[in-house]
C-alpha cells in the first residue's frame, strides 16, 4: 500500500503534535489542514466536516446527557446507598468486599455508560472500605476498582457504543442489547476469580448484615436500582429513542438526587453541569478532529485499500477477528480509546462487512477491546486514575491488574468466536442482522 506525500506529512505532523502533548482532537485537525493545503483543497472543508458531523447527528446528544447523568449521581449519595445494598447481599462471603466492588459496577454500569465515571464515582469509597484496617492491600483494591469499571461501557447504556453507532451507522438500541451478556460474562469471570483468590489468600469475611434489614435497605436503594429499568423500558418499550432515554436518565438522576434523597443542592448541581460541560467539550473536540481526519483518510482511499489487501489474503471471518483483536489490544496500550474508536475502527469496518460479519457483533467486540485498553499499561487511563485515588505505585497496581486482564481476554475470546453470546438478546427483540 502506497500513501501520498501529503498524507505522510499529515500523519507525521499529527504524531509529533500528539507526542508533544497537544490534545489528539487538535492534532488531527492540524494534520488534516496541512493535508488540504498540500492537495490544494479548500480548508473550509474542515469546518464543513465539523458542522456536518457534529450537528447533523441526533445520536450525539446522548453523549453529554449520559455524562451529566453520571456526574449528578456521583455528586449525591446514590453511590453510597448502592454500596450498602451490595454489601448486604454479598459482603457476608469470603472476599465479600471485593465481590461488592464487582456487583456495584454491574448496577452502576446500567446508569452511567462511562468507565471513568464508574471508577471516579465509587473509587474513593471502595478504596476506603477495602483498605480499612488492612483488609486488602491498597494496590489490590485500586486494581479491582479499575478492572470492574471496564464493565461500565459494556452493559447499557454505553457512550463508546453511541460513538460506534455514529461511525458504523448501526442501531444503538441493538448495540446496547448486544452488550448485556458479554458484560455479565465479564463480571461473572471476575467474581469467580475473586472467590478462588479469596480461598487461596484467605481474604476477610465481613460481618453479615441481618437478612431482616435487607428489605429496608433494598427499599432505600430502590430509586437507584430502578434507573436501568427506566432506561431499558423506555428504549425497548418504544417510548423513547436512545437519545431521548439519555435525557430521561439525566432528568431521573436529578429527580432522585435532589428531590428523593435531597443530597444535591444548587452548588453541587452547578459543579456537575460544569464538569459535564468540560468533559463533553473534550470529547466533542476529539470527535470533530476524528471526523475531519476521517475525511482525509477517505480521500486517500485508505479503508478500501486496506480492505482490498485483507481480502486478498483470503481471510475468513475468524482469522479477521483474531487480527482485529490483536490490533485493538496492542493499540489500546498506547492510544486513547475514543481515538481508536473514531479513527481506527472505521478503517476496519468495510472489511468486516465484506466478510459478512454482523455489525452489532463487531461493534461489541471492538468496544470490549478498547475498554480493556483502559487497564493495559503503559497508557491505561483507569490505572492513572486509581493511582491518583489510592496513592499506590503504578507498578503494584499493574501487578494486581494482570491476572484479571488475562481472564477478561479469555472472556473476550468466547464472545468473539461465539457471536450468539452477543446477538442472542438483540434477536429476542427482533434484530435480524447477519445470519451465521
For 308-363, what is each residue's pLDDT tens digit? 777 777 778 888 899 889 888 888 776 777 778 877 888 888 888 888 889 999 99
Q: What is the mean pLDDT of residues 108-129?
A: 69
Confidence (pLDDT) at 51? 63
| Model pTM score | 0.80
Q: What is the 3-state secondary structure (H, E, C) of the chain?
A: CCCCHHHHHHHHHHHHHHHCCCCHHHHHHHHHHHHHHHCCCCCHHHHHHHHHHHHCCHHHHHHHHHHHHHHHHHHCCHHHHHHHHHHHHHCCCECHHHHHHHHHHHHHHHHHCCHHHHHHHHHHHHHHHHHHHHCCCHHHHHHHHHHHHCCCCCCCCCHHHHHHHHHHCCCHHHHHHHCHHHHHHHHHHHHHHHHHHHHHHCCCECCCCCHHHHHHHHHHHHHHHHHHHHHHHHHHCCCCCHHHHHHHHHHHHHHHHHHHCCCCCHHHHHHHHHHHHHHHHHHHHHHHHHHHHHHHHHHCCHHHHHHHHHHHCCCCHHHHHHHHHHHHHHHHCCCCHHHHHHHHHHHHHHHHHHCCCCHHHHHHHHHHHHHHHHHCCCCCHHHHHHHHHHCCCHHHHHHHHHHHHHHHHHHHHHHHHCCHHHHHHHHHCCCCCCCC
Q: What is the pLDDT of residues 362-411, one digit of tens each?
A: 999 999 998 898 888 776 778 877 887 777 888 888 888 899 999 999 99
Q: What is the mean pLDDT of residues 404-423?
A: 91
Confidence (pLDDT) at 142? 87
Provide the percentage of residues in the chain whose pLDDT is more than 90.
9
Q: What is the pLDDT of residues 191-203, one digit of tens each?
A: 999 888 888 888 7
Confidence (pLDDT) at 138? 87
Query: pLDDT category, 235, cuts 50, 70, 90?
Result: confident
Confidence (pLDDT) at 412? 92
Confidence (pLDDT) at 111? 67
Confidence (pLDDT) at 53? 55
**What rounded mean pLDDT belongs to the chain?**
79
Amino acid at each position: 500500500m502506497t500513501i501520498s506525500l501529503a498524507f505522510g506529512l499529515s500523519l507525521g505532523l499529527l504524531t509529533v503534535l500528539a507526542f508533544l502533548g497537544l490534545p489528539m482532537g487538535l492534532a488531527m485537525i492540524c494534520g488534516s489542514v496541512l493535508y488540504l493545503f498540500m492537495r490544494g483543497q479548500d480548508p473550509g472543508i474542515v469546518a464543513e466536516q465539523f458542522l456536518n458531523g457534529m450537528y447533523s447527528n441526533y445520536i450525539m446528544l446522548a453523549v453529554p446527557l449520559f455524562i451529566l447523568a453520571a456526574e449528578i449521581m456521583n455528586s449525591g449519595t446514590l453511590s453510597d446507598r448502592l454500596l450498602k445494598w451490595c454489601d448486604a447481599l454479598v459482603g457476608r462471603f469470603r472476599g465479600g468486599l471485593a465481590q461488592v466492588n464487582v456487583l456495584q459496577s454491574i448496577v452502576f454500569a446500567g446508569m452511567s455508560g462511562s468507565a471513568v465515571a464508574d471508577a471516579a464515582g465509587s473509587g474513593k469509597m471502595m478504596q476506603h472500605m477495602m483498605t480499612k484496617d488492612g483488609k486488602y492491600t491498597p494496590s489490590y483494591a485500586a486494581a479491582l476498582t479499575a478492572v470492574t469499571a471496564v464493565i461500565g461501557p459494556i452493559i447499557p447504556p454505553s457512550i463508546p457504543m453511541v460513538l460506534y453507532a455514529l461511525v458504523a451507522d448501526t442501531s444503538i438500541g441493538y448495540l446496547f442489547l448486544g452488550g448485556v451478556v458479554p458484560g455479565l460474562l465479564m463480571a461473572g469471570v471476575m467474581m469467580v476469580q475473586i472467590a478462588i483468590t479469596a480461598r487461596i489468600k484467605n481474604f476477610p469475611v465481613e460481618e453479615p448484615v441481618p437478612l431482616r434489614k435487607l428489605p429496608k435497605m433494598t427499599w432505600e436503594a430502590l430509586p437507584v436500582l430502578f434507573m436501568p429499568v427506566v432506561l431499558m423500558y423506555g428504549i425497548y418499550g418504544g417510548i423513547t429513542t436512545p437519545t431521548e432515554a439519555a435525557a430521561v436518565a439525566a432528568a431521573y438522576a436529578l429527580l432522585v438526587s435532589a428531590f428523593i434523597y435531597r443530597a444535591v443542592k444548587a452548588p453541587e448541581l452547578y459543579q456537575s453541569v460544569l464538569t459535564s460541560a468540560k468533559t463533553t467539550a473534550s470529547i466533542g473536540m476529539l470527535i470533530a478532529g476524528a471526523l475531519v481526519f476521517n475525511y482525509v483518510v477517505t480521500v486517500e482511499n485508505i479503508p478500501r485499500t486496506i480492505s482490498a489487501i485483507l481480502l486478498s489474503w483470503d481471510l475468513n471471518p475468524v482469522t479477521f477477528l483474531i487480527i482485529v483483536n490483536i490490533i485493538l489490544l496492542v493499540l489500546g496500550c498506547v492510544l486513547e480509546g475514543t481515538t481508536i474508536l473514531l479513527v481506527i475502527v472505521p478503517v476496519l469496518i468495510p472489511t468486516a462487512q465484506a466478510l459478512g460479519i454482523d455489525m452489532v457483533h463487531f461493534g461489541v467486540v471492538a468496544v470490549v477491546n478498547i475498554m480493556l485498553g483502559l487497564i493495559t499499561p503503559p497508557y491505561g487511563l483507569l490505572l492513572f486514575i486509581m493511582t491518583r485515588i489510592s496513592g499506590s505505585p503504578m507498578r503494584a497496581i499493574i501487578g494486581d491488574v494482570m491476572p484479571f486482564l488475562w481472564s477478561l481476554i479469555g472472556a473476550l475470546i468466547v464472545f468473539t468466536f461465539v457471536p450468539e453470546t452477543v446477538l442472542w438478546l438483540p434477536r429476542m427483540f427482533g434484530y435480524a442482522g447477519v445470519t451465521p
